[in-house]
Structure 1
C-alpha cells in the first residue's frame, strides 16, 4: 500500500470518526427522554431533577458535553454511564464477548459457505446457479429479525432443542455456548451467504469466459485447479468488496438479532442506552463500531494492493 494512499486513508478515517461521533451525539440528544428524569423518576421534584442534571453535566450546552467527552477519550477515559454510574469500560467489557463472537462466527460461516456455493454455482450454471440467484433474492429480501423469530419458534419453542434466549460464556463450555449461539449465527449467516454466493458465482463465471482460461485448458490444467486457483483469484476483487461490506453490515445487523434472542451484547444494549440518553455508553459503542469500519476498509485496501501486485508480477 503506497504511503500517499495510506496517508489519505488515515486522514479520511479521522474525519469519519469525528463526523460520526458528533452526529451520534446530536441525534441521541434529539431522541425523546432524559437520563436525569430516568434516574430520579417521574415523581421527583423539579429541584431534584435539576440537581441531577447538573451533576451529570446535562445542563451544559451540547458542544461542551461533546468537548468533555472528547477530552476524556484522548486521556483514555470513556466516562461513566449516566444511568448506572458504572464505568463505560466495565459495561462494554461485560458485553464484548457475545457481540464479538456473533460477528466473527457469522463472518467466517457466511464467507466460507458463500464462496463455496458461488464457485460451485459458476462451475455448474444450471440448477445450482439458478438456486443461488433465488436464494440471494430471498436472503436479501427477508429481514434478519424475521428469520430469527421463525428459527426461534421452530427450534427453540416447538422442538425445544436449543434455548430460546440468553447467553452462556465460552469459558463455561463449548456445548452450552454453542446451544445459545447457533440460532443467532444461522440467522445472520443466511442473508450474507446468499448475497456472497451470487456475487461470487457471477464473478467466477465471468473469469471462466476469459481467454486465459481457454489457454489453461489447452495446456491440460485440471478443471479443479482452473476453478479454485485461477478463476477464483481473478474474481477476488469483487469478492473482497462484498466481504468488506458484510463485515461492516454485521455491526448493525447484530443489534436486532441480539434483541430477538436476548443476547447481552453491547449492540443490543445500545438501543436501551439511546432511549435513556446514556450518551457515554452510546458514544463508546459508536467508537468501537467506527473503529471496526475503519479497520475493515484498511484490510480491504491492503488486499486490493496485494492483488494488484500479483496481477502485475
Structure 2
C-alpha cells in the first residue's frame, strides 16, 4: 500500500510541475499590455513601459516562470496586478464557498446515486427504466437550463430560497443553508444521473457472478448479499466515476456561481482571467490541480481498499 501511495504522489508532483510550466507559458503568449490596462488608455507610453517593467513583463518568459516557481515553492504567490490583494488571501476568502458547493454536491450524489443505482440493479423493471430515463435526461439537459428551472420553481414561484446572494456559515447557519441549497441542487442533477447509471450497471454485473448464485443457494438473505457482497464489489467503478464528477464540478461551479451571484472561485476565475491577472490565474490553476490530485489519490486509495488488485497498477 505504501508503494501504491508513493507512486501516486510522485505522479501528482510531476503533474503539478508540467501543468505549471504549460499554464505560465500559455498565459504569457498573448501580448497583454497590462500597464496600459492599469494606467488607462490616456496614460503616457513611458509610464506604461515603466509599469510593465515593474511587473517584470519586460523579461523573458522562462526567467519570469523560474522566479514565480521559486516564490511559489516558498508559499508566496504574489499580489494581484489589478487589486494589489494578496493572492492566497483572496483565494482563501472565496474557497469556502466553492468547497461548500462541491462537498454538498458530492455527498448528495453519493447517497442518491448509490440508493437509486442499487435499487434499479436489484429490482429492475419499472425502477430500472426510471433510473435510465433520469440518467439520459440528466446528461441531455444543459446545466444552465436545469439551473434556471430550479430558480424559477423554488425561488421565484415558491419563494422558499433566495435567488441570488450568499451568507457565510459564520454569519448564520440557516442563512448559509438557504443560499447554498439551490446551487447544490442545480449541480447535483447531472452528477446523480451519471453516477447512478454507473452503480446500476456495476450492480447488475456483480449479481450475474457465480459466487452470488452460490451465496443465494446457501440461503443467505438477499439484503445481506447486497450489502456485504454486491455493494462492496460494485462500488469501485462507481467511486471512479464519482471522483471524476467531483473534478468536473470545478467547471460547473463557474456557471452556477455566476447565476446565483456566489463569491466563489468560479466567479473569481472568470473575473481575473478576462483581465489577464497572471499571479491570480496561476494560483487558481495550482489550487485546482492540487485539488484534482488529492481527489484522485483519495479515490485510488478507496478503490485499492475495495479491490486490492487495483494497487498493482
Judge same fold: TM > 0.5, yes or no.
yes
* Structure 1 partner of 2:167: 168
Alignment of 1:90-129 (within 5 A): 90-129=89-128
Q: How far apart in 1 are the matches of 2:42 and 2:157?
A: 44
Distance 1:36 1:161 in 2: 47
| Aligned positions of 1:102-251 closer than 5 A | 102-251=101-250
Unaligned runs of 5+ in 1: none
Preserved CA contact (<8 Å) 2:35 2:52: yes
Contact 1:33 1:275 in 2 (8 A): no
Tell me what 1:267 maps to.
266
* Offset, 1:104: 0.6
Contact between 2:303 and 2:310, CA under 8 Å: does it hold in 1?
A: no
Residue segments in structure 2 that go unaligned for 5+ positions in a row: none
Query: Aligned partners of 1:38 and 1:311: how far apart in 2?
Result: 52
State whether residues 155 and 162 of structure 1, in contact with CA within 8 Å, keep that contact through their aligned partners in structure 2: yes
Describe the shift of the 1:215–1:154 C-alpha distance in structure 2 as closer, same or farther (beyond 3 A): same
Match of 1:35 in 2: 34
CA deviations over 1:129-158 (Å, ceiling 9, x no partner): 111111111112223222112222332234
* Partner SS, residue 276 of structure 2: coil
Q: Distance in 1 between matches of 2:310 and 2:300?
A: 15
Helix, strand or coil at the partner of 1:132: helix
- Give distance in 2, aligned partners of 1:266 and 1:164: 19
C-alpha distance in 2 between matches for 1:252 and 1:239: 21
Post-superposition offset of 1:77? 0.7
- Structure 2 residue matching 1:131: 3-state secondary structure: helix
Shift of 1:242: 0.8
Match of 2:47 in 1: 48
> Counterparts of 1:27 and 1:161 in 2: how far apart (Å)?
45
Q: How many pairs align?
A: 311
2:233/2:307 contact within 8 Å kept: no
**After alignment, is 224-233 or 6-15 more displaced?**
6-15
Structure 1: distance between partners of 2:287 and 2:16: 10
Residues 31/50 of structure 1: CA separation in 2 closer, same or farther (3 Å cut): same
User: By how many angstroms is 1:224 displaced?
Assistant: 1.2
Deviates more, 1:10-19 or 1:33-42: 33-42
Shift of 1:167: 0.8
Does the aligned pair in 2 maintain the 1:34–1:276 contact within 8 Å?
Answer: no
Question: TM-score normalised to the size of structure 1?
Answer: 0.93
